[in-house]
């Protein structure tokens, strides 16, 4: 798994506590080591994590190593970005995108 500054790795074991129990909205990147677009998205998410740290938390989950959460939320493609607020998924996006577009798509879900 590629490490990105400001982006924490979560697993099946700690997903509920780290994501569903979080006070801030959480953007989960469902990713895989073999996924090229996932790697492209890394620097974008690192920049967004730094800029929006007071309004949004960003984590990543490896779909190959964490099948339980991947199946629970019906993730079929990587990268899938899913935003959770108050323990519920409120937005889902598939595919890499540039930072400006991602921030526009997140406007309605981050406070």
- Give the catalytic positions in this structure: 35, 38
Alpha-helical regions (H) of 1-66: 15, 36-51
Do the Cβ atoms of 4 and 42 come closer than 8 Å? yes
Return the residue matching tokens 């409120």: 90
């Amino acid at each position: 798994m590629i490490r990105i500054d400001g982006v924490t790795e979560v697993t099946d074991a700690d997903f509920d506590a780290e994501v569903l129990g979080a006070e801030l909205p959480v953007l989960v990147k469902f990713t895989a080591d073999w996924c090229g677009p996932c790697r492209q998205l890394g620097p974008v998410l690192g920049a967004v994590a730094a800029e929006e740290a007071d309004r949004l938390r960003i984590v990543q989950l490896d779909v190959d190593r964490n099948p339980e959460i991947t199946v629970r939320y019906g993730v079929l493609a990587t990268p899938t970005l899913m935003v959770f607020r108050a323990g519920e998924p409120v937005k889902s996006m598939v595919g890499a995108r540039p930072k400006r577009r991602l921030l526009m798509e997140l406007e309605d879900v981050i406070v």
